Amino acid sequence: MFKKFISLEWKAFFRSSALTGNLVITILKIIGALYFMLLFVGMSFIAYFGAEDSGSEPLVAVNKYVLYYLIADLTLKLLLQKIPVINVKPLLTLNIKRSTIVNFAIGKTLVSFFNTIHLFFLVPFTIILVAQGHGGISSLLWFLGILFFIYCNNFINLLLDSKTNLLVGFVVIVGAIIGLQYYGVFDVTEYTGTFFYSLYSTNYMVAIPAVLLIVLWVITFKYFRNHLYLDTGLSKKHEEARTENYNWLNRYGVLGTFLKNDIRMIKRNKRSRSSVIMSFVFVFYGLLFFTGALEMYDNTFMHMFAAIFVTGGFMFTFGQFVPSWDSAYYPLMMSQNIKYKEYISAKWWLVVIGTIISTILATFYLYFGADIYLMIIAAAVFNIGVNSHLVLLGGAYVKTPIDLGSAKQAFGDKKAFNVKTMLLSLPKMLLPMALYAIGEGLIGKHWGVILVIATGVLGFAFRNTVFKMIEKVYKTEKYSTLHSYKQKN
Amino acid sequence: MIKVHNLKKAYNGTVVLNIESLEIPKGESFGLVGNNGAGKTTFFSLLLDLIQPSEGYITSNNIKINESEDWKPFTSAFIDETFLIGYLTPEEYFYFIGDLRGFNKADVDALLAKHADFFNDEILGKKKYLRDLSKGNQKKVGIIAALIGNPEVIILDEPFANLDPTTQFRLKKIIREIADDPNVTILVSSHDLAHTIEVSTRIVALDKGSVVKDIKTSEETLKELEEFFAV
């Protein structure tokens, strides 16, 4: 039976429009995956030899941070992991045991990227341990212990999916732990470090993660088996709807009409809400750069890169997919008497408002100096003046249908965020970085910021031209866009 | 009102629609029948410029549909659920369409009040988004939305499918009322011969993309069509 399931999955994968559609993006995705693999392998070397260089016993030092490693893993899984589903509905009435269906669905999550990626860290790290004279069996037990925890995270993610409130609680607890440690009140890693080390130093402690894993597995299995009914786990959650009229937007005419809809869309769909959450995360992305935490990022060139991201998170995650956000009802839009210009302006205003809000949220970067915030403001101007147009123009060619209602329960598919979005936005970073480098390097202090702002302002002058271009793309691409939007994954 | 000129639609060499000429005068109530794959939805999609003709063209009020967009202000349609915006409540959806078609809130409210019995109290104020409504109720919303803005051409694809018997009856009444208006041309497609005959003054049957029957509705129409479709 499993063989049949696997062949179904195989077909689903190779016949998906994502794969048959765009070769370039598929290749970029593969490159992205390879990059992460190398990154994790590299990390294992840095973790061991870095700790050794700083004069501490590597395994002790690493174990101190295992807690954060696991927390980061769980957070990423909660936020990003699509819960892979085999399309179970058609299978329910066939001659297949329910437990087989559930086992396969669970098994599929075990081999997902979010779990396997850790092997690229753990396996080389364990090999280094053994090669450097640590006990073979002990190292293996440690390896298994950590791996079990990773898989525990996998099940926690499955169980917590669609329970956003719990996620908030989780974030608060983690924040508290980090805060307490940072201010030296209570260092939880002292204890967890000892615990994780005991996986290595004793033969029996590995039983704890093993038992935990088995318990979680059984709970997940039972949960899914009991919810494998059309009116429970497989049913759609119905939110209570409230009619919102936003009458204050009426004065903007048709532009207001579209804005109203866009606001409702963002509020009421999981997919679009997650893009808002992502853009919020992006606001803090600059911390990696401006705090000097990472030496290779601590130069003005990379600061500009960060500034663009800090202010443009929403622009990139949302703007990238205009008009795909409206893909579900694109035939309606195309047969209504719609003024493209107003339609595009509404989206433009939306990304501009998003950028302004991000810029305001980013005022805490003033802590790192007025120059840094000046840079962020320059990046905001550039984003609004230049990138907003580029993003919308790029979006006109992106013909991936977006499944807004992908917020299904339990076995639902969650397409929160994808690598594609990130990769497509890279060129929009490089121009301001180059401008900044030229201004700062060749002319003098503050000229980088001035150059970036000037280019941003100049971008406004081309607004109508770009809007006309986008309109033209919408018109010439209309039929093929309509066709692509029909192909639902 | 609508004129078809040597219209042909082919996919990879397979002709799915081929209508040499067809004229639908203003005010006609036009029924389109045919089996699956006969080309009904293809024809309606061409009428709405959602797909491109391989050859020929359609004019609506002397406007070439695939070249100008000027037909949009006086044309409205409900083809399938892709004409609904799932995350809106029915009220929001009606007002949205109203905004686009020059109907203010009061106009829309008046129209909704007029069709209150069609909704059968299952649509308005139910605290549900369109995506959470049943297929039949979604269809009710789509059909009424297609009446917003006093369109001169109304296109309804399979409006009777998924509707309960009472609603089908009410829908027939609505369509007949529209048909009585000499300024409104209404095009309805269906698998159900009896329904179509009841609401249409003229019936065209498509088979494998070609017009095989073109008859004014009369007492014998149903028999004639049944004979044709019975194999």
pLDDT tens digits along A120-168: 888 998 998 888 888 888 889 889 999 999 999 888 888 876 566 666 7
Give the mean model confidence (pLDDT) for residues B106-129: 93
Q: Does the CB of B228 have a partner CB in chain A at under 8 Å?
A: no
Return d(Cα A102, Cα A108) in angstroms, integer: 10
Which of the given ranges, A319-333, A383-397, B81-95, has the highest pLDDT on average? B81-95
- Interface contact flag, A332 B73, Cβ < 8 Å: no
Both tokens of residue A1? 């039976």
When mean pLDDT is compared across A282-296, B15-29, B34-48, the lowest value belongs to A282-296
When mean pLDDT is compared across A170-184, B21-35, B46-60, the lowest value belongs to A170-184
Nearest CA among A294, A431, A289 for reference residue A369: A289
Mean pLDDT, rounded, of chain B:
92
Q: Does the CB of B127 have a partner CB in chain A at under 8 Å?
A: yes
Tens digits of residue pLDDT in A80-110: 776 655 567 777 788 888 888 888 888 888 8
Which residue of A235, A243, A334, A406 to mutate against B (max B Cβ within 10 Å)?
A243
Tens digits of residue pLDDT in B200-209: 999 999 999 9
When mean pLDDT is compared across A12-16, A180-184, A434-438, the lowest value belongs to A12-16
pLDDT at A18 over 90: no
Taking the CA of residue A260 and the nearest CA in chain B, the distance in Å comes to 9
Taking the CA of residue A23 and the nearest CA in chain B, the distance in Å comes to 23
- Interface contact flag, A254 B100, Cβ < 8 Å: yes
Q: Which residue has the higher pLDDT, B120 or A177?
A: B120
Return d(Cα A75, Cα A171) in angstroms, integer: 8
Give the mean model confidence (pLDDT) for residues A314-331: 87
When mean pLDDT is compared across A3-7, A258-262, B3-7, the lowest value belongs to A3-7
Taking the CA of residue A157 and the nearest CA in chain B, the distance in Å comes to 26
pLDDT at A415 over 90: no
Both tokens of residue A215? 């318990």
Q: Does the CB of A236 have a partner CB in chain B at under 8 Å?
A: yes
Q: Does the CB of B52 have a partner CB in chain A at under 8 Å?
A: yes
Q: How much is the pLDDT for A234?
A: 64
Q: Which of B50, B75, B127 sits opposite A331 (nearest CB)?
A: B50
Q: How confident is the model at residue B114 (pLDDT cuts 50, 70, 90)?
A: very high
Q: What is the ipTM of this complex?
A: 0.91
Mean pLDDT, rounded, of chain A:
81
Local structure of B230: helix, strand or coil: coil
pLDDT at A423 over 70: no
What count of residues does chain B have?
Answer: 231
Q: How confident is the model at residue A331 (pLDDT cuts 50, 70, 90)?
A: very high
Q: Which of B76, B84, B95 sits opposite A329 (nearest CB)?
A: B84
Handedness of CA A291, A297, A298, A301 (dihedral sign): negative
Integer angstrom CA distances of residue A21 from A15, A27, A109, B182: 9, 12, 25, 48
- CB count within 10 Å of CB A303 equals 23
Handedness of CA B82, A488, A275, A388 (dihedral sign): negative
Q: How much is the pLDDT for B228?
A: 86
Give the mean model confidence (pLDDT) for residues B19-30: 94
Return d(Cα A395, Cα B21) in angstroms, integer: 40
- Interface contact flag, A335 B50, Cβ < 8 Å: yes
Contacts of A239 in chain B (CB under 8 A): 129, 132
Instruction: Quote the DSSP letter at residue A386.
Output: I
Give the mean model confidence (pLDDT) for residues A44-48: 86
Q: How confident is the model at residue A205 (pLDDT cuts 50, 70, 90)?
A: confident
Q: Which of A:446-485 have CB within 8 Å of B?
A: 479, 482-483
H or E segment at A49? none
Its pTM stands at 0.75
Q: Which of A254, A261, A331 sits opposite B83 (nearest CB)?
A: A331
* Side chain identity at residue A16, one-letter code: S
Q: How much is the pLDDT for B47?
A: 94
Q: Which of A236, A265, A332 sits opposite B82 (nearest CB)?
A: A332
Taking the CA of residue A362 and the nearest CA in chain B, the distance in Å comes to 31
Contacts of B89 in chain A (CB under 8 A): 241-243
Can you tell me which residue has the tokens 């101190």? Answer: A64
Contacts of A339 in chain B (CB under 8 A): none
- Interface contact flag, A241 B85, Cβ < 8 Å: no
Q: How much is the pLDDT for A113?
A: 78
* Beta pairing class for B63-64 and B153-157: unpaired
Return d(Cα A427, Cα A159) in angstroms, integer: 38
Q: How much is the pLDDT for A201?
A: 85
- CATH classification for the domain delimited by B2-230, as one of 3.40.109.10, 3.40.50.300, 2.30.30.240, 1.20.210.10: 3.40.50.300
Q: How confident is the model at residue A414 (pLDDT cuts 50, 70, 90)?
A: very low
Both tokens of residue A382? 């550039």
Give the mean model confidence (pLDDT) for residues A30-44: 84
- Interface contact flag, B96 A238, Cβ < 8 Å: no
- Interface contact flag, A332 B72, Cβ < 8 Å: no
Taking the CA of residue B138 and the nearest CA in chain A, the distance in Å comes to 13
Contacts of A244 in chain B (CB under 8 A): 92
pLDDT at A246 over 80: yes
Q: Does the CB of B101 have a partner CB in chain A at under 8 Å?
A: yes
pLDDT at B229 over 90: no
Taking the CA of residue A77 and the nearest CA in chain B, the distance in Å comes to 27
Contact assessment for residue A263 and residue A332, using Cβ atoms and an 8 Å cutoff: no
Contacts of B126 in chain A (CB under 8 A): 241
- CB count within 10 Å of CB A200 equals 24
Contact assessment for residue B98 and residue B107, using Cβ atoms and an 8 Å cutoff: yes
Return d(Cα A294, Cα B65) in angstroms, integer: 59
